[in-house]
Amino acid sequence: MDLCAISVLRCTVVFNLTKTGFNSHIYTATALTDMYMNFKHQFLYSELKVFDEITEPNTTSINVVVFGVCQNGCYKKAFEVFKLFSEFKLRPDSVTVASLLSGCDISVKDGQLIHCWAVKIGVETDIYVATSLVIMYFNCKQPLTASVVFKRIGRKTVACCNAYVTGLLQNRIAEPVFKVFKQMLQRSAHDANTVTFVYVLSACSDNKNFKFGLQVHGLLVKVDLVLNLLVGTAHLDMYSKCRYWHRAYDVFKELREIRSLITWNSLIFGMMLNGKSESAIGLFIMLESNGFKPDSVTWNIMINNFPHVLYTCVVG
């Protein structure tokens, strides 16, 4: 549905609600606010206007606005709306806290303030709030605090563990990744999902952790994920970075029917990384005959290595 059609539909809905008087009804107004929020920036002003007309908002209606303005990047406005909980003597809940924490550029100071609120209202260990806190602290470059929050979580979900592992790797901390992964496997071999394996393989992309990567390969065969595109590409990348280019090429061949351009780019880069310039050039030439077109990543790989490639071709 295009913007013009949405505008017509919006006007029709608002007109009918105003005509019947339902626009002042708390549940109807909340639903209307939520509808505007789903259209992102286009109707943010309309969302706030509908909300302002609610004389006695409840926790749900405030949560809808807090989440909506956060998703639109208006974090200062979100905190202004958050103050209405005190004004109307309402109690924020886990949804409120998780919504406020969803701001990707939230400051440490604001994050700590929200964390204090989570403790105050007793939702600090709620799985959604705790996961949001972990992500927030990692984004704010506070890995130690993120780890403390993670350890306090009782029943950790796969999503929670993946968020923690992702944060560790973003902060260039690899060792705890393996501990978390082992704990997940102790609960069930199927507790880890595709995302988990991709990040664990990424953590194995150096010779120090290569043996663990081999064990992960065996587990992938066991849980029938060895031919998954994302996992296979991550696997290929791990072998390349550990200087086992021939193993990377073997994985590439196994992915024959499901390769993507990312898979091709990963192997071309891996060959360049391992000094196999001629093989990389051969793969580059084969790319289009296999139904793919080089993208900016492909060209950057070739251009950045061109002096070395040219030298190899001349000397060879």
Residue 26 — pLDDT band, cuts 50, 70, 90?
low
Q: Mean pLDDT for the chain?
A: 81
Question: pLDDT-derived band of residue 12, with 50, 70 and 90 as boundaries?
Answer: very low
Q: Residue 285 burial (CB < 10 Å; 0-12/13-18/19+)?
A: exposed
Compute the average pLDDT of residues 23-34.
51
Q: Is the pLDDT of residue 69 over 70?
A: yes
Residue burial 130-145, b: 16+ Cβ < 10 Å; e: rest: bbbbbbbbbbbebbeb
Task: Judge contact between 259 and 252, C-beta under 8 A.
Answer: yes
pLDDT at 118 over 60: yes
Distance between CA atoms of 77 and 216, rounded to whole angstroms?
46
How far, in Å, CA of 179 to CA of 307, rounded? 42
- Mean pLDDT check: name the lowest of 157-171, 223-237, 294-308: 294-308
pTM score above 0.85: no
Lowest mean pLDDT among 20-34, 56-70, 248-262, 267-281: 20-34
Compute the Cα dihedral for 252, 258, 263, 268 and give only its sign: positive
Structure tokens at 311: 């030298």
For residue 115, the one-letter residue type is H
Residue 4 C-alpha from the chain's centroid = 32
Q: What is the pLDDT of residue 82?
A: 82
Once rounded to an integer, what is the mean pLDDT over residues 247-264?
Answer: 94
Q: Any idea which of 92-101, 269-278, 281-290 has the lowest mean pLDDT?
A: 92-101
pLDDT average, residue stretch 190-202: 89
Q: Where are the domains of the chain?
A: 1-88, 91-155, 161-257, 259-316
Q: Say which residue, 81 or 286, is predicted with more confidence.
A: 286
- Residue 106: the pLDDT is 77
Q: Cα separation of 157 and 160, whole Å?
A: 5
| Segment of 184-198, 212-226, 257-271 carrying the highest mean pLDDT | 257-271
H and E: helices and strands count for the chain = 20, 0
Is 193 a residue whose pLDDT tops 80? yes
Buried b (16+ CB within 10 A) or exposed e, 48-62: bebbeebeebeebbb
| 176 vs 43, higher pLDDT | 176
What pLDDT does 158 receive?
Answer: 92
Rounded average pLDDT over 247-252: 95
Q: Which of 104, 110, 64, 108 has its CA nearest to residue 84?
A: 64
Per-residue pLDDT of 145-184, as tens digits, reads 999 999 999 889 999 999 999 999 999 998 899 999 998 8
Tokens, residue 158: 């796969």
* Mean pLDDT confidence for 74-93: 82
In which band, very low, low, confident or very high, does the pLDDT at 30 lie, cut at 50, 70 and 90? low
Identify which has the larger pLDDT, 63 or 255.
Answer: 255
Q: Residue 13, class by beta-carbon neighbours within 10 Å (0-12 exposed, 13-18 middle, 19+ buried)?
A: middle
pLDDT at residue 132 tops 70? yes
